[in-house]
Amino acid sequence: MRLQLITFGVAREVLGTRQVAWSFGGHTVGELKAELLARYPALASLRSLQIAVNEKFADDHHPLVESDEIALIPPMNGG
C-alpha cells in the first residue's frame, strides 16, 4: 500500500524530507513504526514519536489503509 508521510522537527531531519510517498507492506501503525525504525535507526533516539493518521493521533493498533496521510511528530520543546 502507498502512504503519504509528512515529517516534522527532528523526524524531518532524519528522513531528509518534508513529505515522502511510502510503500508499505504492513497493516497497522505499529508495523509502520517498526519499518521506519529499521530504515531510519536514528528515530530510535527520540524520547517519543507520535503518529497521526489523517490528522488524528493513533496508537500502534490503529489500522492503515491505502492513501492514508501519516504525520511523524517528534517530541516538542516547550517554550
In this prediction the pTM is 0.88
Identify whether 79 is part of a domain.
no
Identify whether 60 is part of a domain.
yes
- The total domain count for the chain is 1
Identify whether 11 is part of a domain.
yes
C-alpha cell at 23: 510503500
Mean pLDDT by 10 residues, the chain (79 residues): 92 93 92 94 90 96 94 78
Full domain range(s) for residue 51: 2-73
6: domain CATH number is 3.10.20.30
**pLDDT at residue 77, as a whole number:** 64
Identify whether 78 is part of a domain.
no
**What one-character-per-residue DSSP string does 7-75 give?**
E-HHHHHHHTSSEEEEE---SBHHHHHHHHHHH-GGGGGSS--EEEETTEE--TT-B--TT-EEEEEPP
**pLDDT at residue 79, as a whole number:** 47
In terms of Cβ atoms closer than 10 Å to its own Cβ (0-12, 13-18, 19+), residue 10 is middle
Identify whether 48 is part of a domain.
yes
**pLDDT at residue 56, as a whole number:** 97
